[in-house]
Amino acid sequence: MDWLRALQHLRREGRSGVLVTVTSVRGHAPRETGAKMVVTAGATWDSIGGGNLEASAVARARALLAAGTATPERLELALNEHAANDYGRQCCGGEVALLLEPQPARAVVAVFGLGHVGQELARILSRLPLAVRLVDSRAAQVQQLAAVGLDDGLADVRLIHAPAPETVLAALPAEAHVLVLTHDHAEDLVLCEAALRRGDLASVGVIGSSAKWQRFRKRLREAGHADAAIDTITSPIGLPELRGKEPAVIAISVAAALVQVLQREPMSALAGLRSAVRG
């Protein structure tokens, strides 16, 4: 795929990368000003010309990714036989300036359950720079939300009908953030167990009362999960000081708690969108 589709792909998947652009050329060079490529830790898309030029850019881009750097960086390379090259000789005779722009991964937030609260929460999250998965085991709920349309905000939104939603949870990337809001307590419990089996999610929050969570905690212990693991799940979710049982109020409370935590992290589009909804 080309560099633009690669960037879109990375955003949808919640993965980070670096956009490399040829900003100026003096003399002869493999590519013209404006040529671009995208670099991730394990792949590249498009090209700025190959050879030592491209290999040096890829190496530097991956160093920026490894360091978690968010600041763009300029890189100048000479293409002649006298230049000190690390990846082979390139004798075009020119000089090339590159701009390396880190593209932070968007936080992935998965909402399981698109009832009244889930739909209100979906509308709020669609306004934020996130990769949002909206999942329900009921096709009608997914269709209802699809009819509303959530594509006019900043988020990359994916609506998913999943009769067995735990399969979607299993396929989420590591460090995804999960909110469990389904219509069925049995389904909520299955999702909690699936999350604990993974052990690599940034956070898991479950809607409901303290009494509901105490029942869940007992069931999860009986299923063999350690208290330390169970404690990684937050329930109830939302800001405790924000009271009200209206779906919109609950959704605002949950979204506010999410933003509070995400803003603490570096390398995110919201001044800190990597950590999770702890409710």
Contact criterion met (CB below 8 Å) for 175 and 202:
yes
**pLDDT score, position 275:** 37
Question: Which pLDDT band holds residue 278 (cuts at 50, 70, 90)?
Answer: very low
Quick one: pLDDT band at residue 272, thresholds 50, 70, 90?
Answer: very low
pLDDT of 109 higher than 50? yes
pLDDT at 120 over 90: yes
Nearest to 236 by CA among 219, 249, 220, 253: 253
What pLDDT does 84 receive? 54
CA-CA distance, 185 to 181, in Å (whole number)?
9
- Tell me how crowded residue 276 is: count the other CB atoms within 10 A of its CB: 24
Q: What is the 3-class SS of 64-118, one letter each residue?
A: HHHHCCCCCEEEEEECCCCCCCCCCCCCCCCEEEEEEEEECCCCEEEEECCCHHH
For tokens 């167990």, the residue is 193
Q: How many CB atoms lie within 10 A of CB 61?
A: 26
Alpha helices in 150-246 (DSSP H): 166-171, 185-198, 210-222, 227-230
- Decide: 135 and 202 in contact? Cβ < 8 Å: no
pLDDT digits (tens, 9 = 90+) for 131-190: 999 999 999 999 999 998 898 899 999 999 999 999 999 999 988 999 999 999 999 999
Classified as helix, coil or strand, 136 is strand
Lowest mean pLDDT among 5-14, 60-69, 224-233: 5-14
Tokens 């498009």 appear where? 46
As a whole number, mean pLDDT of residues 37-66 equals 93
**What are 218-250's pLDDT values in tens digits?**
999 999 999 999 999 999 999 988 888 899 999
What dihedral angle (degrees, nearest 10) is formed by the CA atoms of 121, 127, 128, 131?
Answer: 70
276 — pLDDT class (breaks 50, 70, 90): very low
Residue 114 · residue 141 · CB < 8 Å: yes
CA 26 to chain centre: 38
Q: How far apart are CA 91 and CA 78, in angstroms?
A: 9
Q: Which residues contact 70 (CB under 8 A, 6 or more apart)?
A: 102, 104, 266, 267
* Tens digits of residue pLDDT in 250-265: 999 999 998 887 887 6
Q: What is the mean pLDDT of residues 74-84?
A: 72
